[in-house]
Chain A
Amino acid sequence: EDKVVQSPLSLVVHEGDTVTLNCSYEVTNFRSLLWYKQEKKAPTFLFMLTSSGIEKKSGRLSSILDKKELFSILNITATQTGDSAVYLCAPTSGTYKYIFGTGTRLKVLA
C-alpha cells in the first residue's frame, strides 16, 4: 500500500526563522514528487522533483529529493507570516496519480 508521511505535523516559528519540512514515502512506480502550499483553498504548486540530489530553489524556498532513502525536504529560510499554510508533499505513482501526505501545518508568528 502506498504511504506518505510528513513531519512534523504542525510547527510554530517566529518570523526570520528557518524551517525544514520532511516527507518520506513508499510508493509503487514512483515517478516524481511534488510540493504544494495550501492556504484556505486549493493547493498551489511549489516544486516538482524527479532527480535525486538536485536542489530546486524559488526565492526563500528550496527542496531536494533522495530517491534512495525515499524522502524529500522542503526548506524555507527567513520565514514570513505569509508563509503560514499547510505544506503538502505528493509523490506520484505511475504516470499521473498523486498521493498526498497529511501535510505540515506551519504558523509563522510576527
Chain B
Amino acid sequence: GAVVSQHPSWVICKSGTSVKIECRSLDFQATTMFWYRQFPKQSLMLMATSNEGSKATYEQGVEKDKFLINHASLTLSTLTVTSAHPEDSSFYICSARFSGSIHKRSYNEQFFGPGTRLTVL
C-alpha cells in the first residue's frame, strides 16, 4: 500500500524551543494531510487538516499560532510546535489521504505515518 514517513521518530527538547516534524508521502502525492495528537492511553485527536498550497484548517481548541503547519508540496507537510512546553509532550501522528490505485489495488483512505514522540523538558 501507500507509505507515509515521519521525521524525527522521537525528539527531546527544552521548554521554549521550537520543534519541526516532517510528514512525507513516499510513493504517492497527497493534496491533503492530517495531523493528530495522541496522549498516553487516549485516542487520536485531529489537530488540523493540511492542504497543499493553502492554509491549514485547525480543529476547535488548537492554537494555530502555536502549531504551525506548512504543506509546501504534494509529498511533504510539516508541523512546527513553537515555544514548546512540557504540556505539549505527546505522540504526534500524521496521515496522508490517498485516492487511487497501487499495484492494481484501489485505495480511498488515509495512510498513517509511524508517529513522532515529543518530550519537552
Contact = CB atoms under 8 A, between A and B. Distances in A.
B32 interface: yes
Interface of B: 1, 32, 34, 36, 41-46, 49, 93, 95, 97, 108-115
Indicate the size class of the contact surface on chain A.
10 to 19
Interface in A73-107: 88, 96-103, 105
9 A-B pairs with least C-beta separation: A42-B112, A100-B44, A100-B43, A102-B43, A42-B115, A41-B114, A42-B114, A42-B93, A41-B115
A34 B115 contact: no
Contact of A96 (B32, B44, B114): B32
Given A41-B115, A42-B93, A42-B115, A96 B43 contact: no
Contacts of B111: 45
B101 to A, nearest CB: 15
B109 A97 contact: no
Interface of A: 34, 41-45, 48, 88, 96-103, 105
9 contacts: A34-B109, A41-B114, A41-B115, A42-B113, A42-B115, A96-B110, A98-B44, A98-B46, A98-B95
Given A42-B93, A45-B109, A48-B109, A100 B115 contact: no
Q: Looking at A42, A43, A44, which has the most chain B CB atoms within 10 Å of its CB? A: A42
A103 B44 CA distance: 9
A88 B43 contact: yes
A103 B43 contact: yes
A97 B46 contact: yes
A102 to B, nearest CB: 5
Q: Looking at B1, B109, B113, which has the most chain A CB atoms within 10 Å of its CB? A: B109
Contact of B46 (A48, A99, A103): A99
A10 B97 CA distance: 30
A61 B63 CA distance: 39
Given A97-B46, A98-B95, A102-B42, 11 more contacts: A41-B115, A45-B111, A48-B108, A48-B109, A96-B110, A97-B49, A98-B34, A98-B44, A100-B44, A101-B43, A105-B41
